[in-house]
Amino acid sequence: MKSFYLVCFFFSLSLSLSLSVYSATYTVSSNLDNSDSNVGDGICADYNGNCTLRAAVEEANFDFSSHDTVSLAGTFYIVNSELQITSPMDIIGLVYNSGASTTEIRGGGQNRVLYINNNTQAIPEINLDTLYIGQGSLVGSGEGACIYAENILDFRIKETQIFYCELTSSDDGQVLKGAGVFVKDSENVSFENTEIFYNKIIGDYHIEGFGAGAYFEDNQTVIFKDSKVHINFLSSVFNAFGGGIYSENNNLIKFEESYVGYNAVLTTGDSGSAIGGGMYATSDGETTSKLHAKGLRFWRNDAITYNSSTTGSILGGGLYLDDVSSEIYDSPFSQNTSSRDGGGVYFDESRKSHIFMRNSVNFNIAGNSGGGIFLKARGGFNFKAYNTTISSNIAGSGGGLACSASSYPFINLRMVTIVKNEALYDGGGFYADQTCSGALVFYASLIAKNINVAPTGLGPDCFSSANVKMYYYNFLGDRKDCSLSTFISYNYIGDSTDPSVGVLDPVLGSPNNDYRYGTVGSFISYSPMDATSPLVDFVASDCTTETGFVLSKDNKFLDRKADGDGNGVEICDIGAVEYAP
């Protein structure tokens, strides 16, 4: 009987050892680009016995069941053909004492750098850590000049820079996607403390370009944390979509304290479109797709054309959203430009819900409408803005905000400040067409000190052709050319056409510049100058959303309810910022 148990024990031990996963570490000692001399022997060595980057990856690819590590001890590697990764692995660069990477992997001039895809099964995990990956180039057509990744369960890029990669074509009808990064059909994709910059897509003739910095399609989750997507450029004679980022049918794309800036889309053709200078996010309408952002700075992105006669669309200098729901918190949109509509952000026609809270939209420009924000809405479109400042934006119409609707949406602006915006023609503060006017609801909001420049222009603070609802505790400096519903109590309403009323002054202080996430892309807001301001302690009800959720922080992230007039009672103020002496 004892022998039986011993046989069983050794059989079990042998089985467990055979099923165990062996993980190797290959330390690269040569910057040559030679292949492994005997793939599968577990030894990283080219024909001269050197462990090259390519040889290490080939050994790590050999056993799909293991998760190996490729450690780069050197500083500079050139791959003269794409480096194919087909099994789970980590590729880790050399680190300075400061924590910065010193390891660079470059393309050879006319090739992609990394191709990550097994083709037959999902790769469980890929980690790229502390690397420079750059100078990949594809000509004619292509996807992912620096990195192409597909069908990965967990794809993590950390402390890495992806730069100077390029997709170009002059062949009619080609499609170019993701010069820096291209990722599709993956579960979890994350970028932490990573930069994607100086990547470009250049297309002549009838060519479409998508996502010069990064392109994401049909992924479950894409997360950016403490990362930057900046100085990426997409130019096409035809269509250019997403200068920094293009996102399509991703269930969730999420940003935490990240930055999208100095990206651009440009079209030069007679029928070309340029949409989403910083980011373009869309879905097919069947995929549940959502953007979630907190501390995301959109700064100096552009959607432009030099061809004023083009029949295409030029939309969303900073951000363009189409059939994607969103929750955007504590994010500044600053100095973005669109040659036509939506300088800061453009929400396109969809039946999606959007929450826009404690944001700052300032110094954006649109050639036509919606210098700060453009809402193109229809039935089912639900937009709610809270504790947000829209200031110093410029457009032809709707300097701060413009709204156009094909059927009745729901648009609620609660404790929002719209000040010091400028329209060349109509609606310095906001412009709303007839259908949208009836859907606009303001509560405890400030609209004042906006202007229109042209002598024939209408509505310095607002222009609406149907009744806008001013529900309780609003301050409207001048209602000239602004059709309002029957006034509900407790609103300040000025009127420059009525000498007995005149234009009302909210008594604002100097602008507040808040650099809580760094010096790039500041929050700009306006507080009452002092306790004499009519905005102070005027909102008799609590600072809440329409559903009763307490808005405990204002646009400066300070306590929302304060005793501004010194009478011992804490009461909310009108607008996005609370006055606290």
**Cα–chain-centroid distance for residue 537?**
36
DSSP bridge pairs for 329: 294, 357
Q: Which residues contact 396 (CB under 8 A, 6 or more apart)?
A: 366, 367, 368, 369, 423, 424, 425
Output the pLDDT for position 408.
79
- Measured CA to CA, the distance from residue 328 to residue 199 in angstroms comes to 26
Output the pLDDT for position 8.
42
Output the pLDDT for position 281.
98
523-528 and 508-514: which strand pairing?
A: antiparallel
Structure tokens at 282: 């869309």
Find the helix or strand (DSSP H, E) in which 39 lies: none
Structure tokens at 233: 């450029």
What is the full DSSP assignment across 327-351? EEES-EEES-EESSB-SSEEE-S-S
For CA atoms 525, 530, 531, 535, the dihedral sign is negative
Structure tokens at 547: 């559903």
Task: Report yes or no: 275 and 309 within 8 Å, Cβ to Cβ.
Answer: no
> What angle (nearest 5°) sits at the alpha carbon of residue 344, between those of residues 339 and 350?
95
Output the pLDDT for position 18.
37
**Could you tell me the CA-to-CA distances from 44 to 35, 62, 87 in Å, in that order?**
9, 12, 16
Spatial CA neighbour of 92 closest among 156, 137, 35, 32 = 156
Output the pLDDT for position 479.
95
Output the pLDDT for position 250.
97
DSSP bridge pairs for 267: 236, 305
DSSP label at residue 58: H
Q: Which residue has the tokens 């959720």?
A: 549
What is the full DSSP assignment across 375-420? EEE-TT-EEEEES-EEES-EEEE-SSEEEEESS--EEEEES-EEES
* 0.85 exceeded by pTM: yes
Output the pLDDT for position 378.
77
Mean pLDDT by 10 residues, the chain (581 residues): 41 39 87 97 97 98 97 91 98 73 86 97 97 94 95 97 94 91 98 98 89 98 98 94 98 97 94 96 89 97 90 96 96 97 93 94 97 89 95 98 88 97 97 87 96 93 90 95 81 95 95 78 87 93 86 91 92 94 84
